[in-house]
Amino acid sequence: MTAPVSAVPMAFELVAEGLQFAYNGRAVLRGVSLSIRPGEVLSLLGANGAGKTTLLRLLLGLSRPSAGAVCLNGKPLARYARRELAHHLAYVPQTHTTPFPYKVHEIVMLGRLPYTGLTHAPSRRDREVVSEMLERMGIAHLADRPYTEVSGGERQLALIARALAQGARLLIMDEPVSGLDYGNQLRFLTHLRALAADGYSVVKATHHPEHALLAATRVVLLCDGAIVRDGRADEVVTPAAIQQLYGVEVTAFHAPGHRAIAFYPSEPLSPAGEMR
């Protein structure tokens, strides 16, 4: 038997330094610096258009910054081969469907592409890794079901299993819970915490401040392409921060003995009017 791939994640360090990015002449990111440590769940909060998705794309090496650089273990992403990068960084998109009814295990097997290369058939070892990851995400029983026919929550778990099969230590997720029902959202956050406990790092963009408090060890607030706060979730996510990011007034409610907070709009609901 080979050792499970998930045993102990290797040390890694992803550092973004002075990232700037412009799209059609409009500055989307203006000097963002960020370093991601093993074992943390980092939630990225920000209004629509604040630059969350752009930042995630830069961290994944899918776009190049106009200034600054992202370095993995001290080497800029641009100097990595795509395939090598895939050993370290994985992208977990919003739950989606595929145009063709691939089986769930086939979707997860795609995570082995960086190891097999484009033209080789998967080996026994690859199949073992896939089973292990399906098991780990609790969806082994879905292995032979078409990905297009399982629920949104199950598809999201399959996408994480694929990222784990990649052997990646850093999972980058763009609004991973959008499209999941309430129960699945909470279950999903539990999975994230378990991953972090095993030494994986997660960077996710989210629209839910409460989720940041539930699952994140660290929260970064992004406003107009710049980081305005970066710190422990319970210190950063405050009514003042929500006012600053979204321009709405809320009151925080703490349940005694819990770290969770519920935010509720302050009375009367401020007639902010225009959607932003």
Partner 1 sequence: MSYARWVALLWVLLVVAVLVALSVGRYPVPVSDIVHFVLAAARLEEMPRDRFDLLYNLIVQIRLPRVLTAVLVGGALATSGAAYQAVFRNPLVSPELMGVLAGSAFGAALGILVSGNWLVVQSLAFAVGVVAVVAGVAFARLAGGASVVMLVLGGVISGTLFTALLSVAKFVADPYQKLPAIEYWLMGNLALADLRTIGWVVLPMGLGVAVLAGLGRALDALSMGDDEARSLGVPVTAVRYGVIAVATFVSAMTVSLAGMVGWVGLIIPHVARLAVGPGNLRLLPACACMGALFLLATDGLSRTLFNVEIPIGILTALLGVPAFLIVLHRARKGWL
CB of residue 46 to partner 1, shortest distance in Å = 20
Please give the backbone phi and psi of residue 79, each rounded to the nearest 5 degrees, phi first: -95, 0
Per CB under 8 A, the segment of 98-106, 213-221, 253-261, 263-271 that binds partner 1 is 98-106
**Can residue 198 be called a binding residue for partner 1 (CB under 8 A)?**
no
Q: Contact region for partner 1 (CB under 8 A) — 43-51, 85-93, 150-158, 212-220?
A: 85-93
- Round to the nearest angstrom and report the end-to-end CA distance of the chain: 55
Under rule CB under 8 A, residue 71 binds partner 1: no
90 vs 250 by CB, closer to partner 1? 90
- How far apart CA 220 and CA 124 sit, in angstroms, is 41
Cβ-based nearer residue to partner 1, 10 or 62: 62
Q: Are 201 and 11 in contact (CB under 8 A)?
A: no
Burial of 159 (0-12, 13-18, 19+ CB in 10 A): buried
CB of 167 to partner 1, least distance (A): 11
Residue 182 binds partner 1, judged by CB under 8 A: no
Instruction: Confirm or reject binding of residue 243 to partner 1 (CB under 8 A).
Output: no
Q: Binding residues for partner 1, per CB under 8 A?
A: 57, 60, 62, 82-86, 89-91, 93, 96, 98-103, 106, 110-111, 113-114, 116, 118-121, 146, 148-149, 166
